[in-house]
Amino acid sequence: MSALSDALDELSSDVNIVDFYADWCQPCKTLAPLLDDAFAEHGSRLNLIKVDADENLDVCKEYGVQSLPTVLVVQRTDSGSYVEINRFTGSKPSAFLDAFIQDAVQAAGVANGAVT
């Protein structure tokens, strides 16, 4: 199991957003506040996990991260492992991020048995 899987296991949500970034990455710096704002507005049923790609190369390899920023939505399966259900790379506008997070929230509602 990876450090990311261990961190995800500590969280209550079955669906989580994972942001792979690096301090030197300008698109990451552009995306971060937009993602944080969209998450604050729409992500109450999710967790946002930020992974420093430079410090977690094994996790990047495990999830096939080849460019930054990369943002994943991962869902816990019945067996306790995690599967990717959505992804994007690069900096995106606020409207895209809002829709991306709303889709993840809907997936979280379905995963947790909620009616959405």
Pick the catalytic residue from 8, 15, 28, 68. Answer: 28
Dihedral over Cα of 51, 116, 44, 98: its sign: positive
Q: How far apart are CA 73 and CA 90, in angstroms?
A: 15
Is residue 60 among the annotated active site residues?
no
Pick the catalytic residue from 4, 17, 25, 31. Answer: 25
3-state secondary structure of 85: strand
* Contact status, residue 37 vs residue 94, Cβ threshold 8 Å: yes
Q: How far is CA 57 from the centre of its chain?
A: 17
* Residues carrying an active site annotation: 25, 28
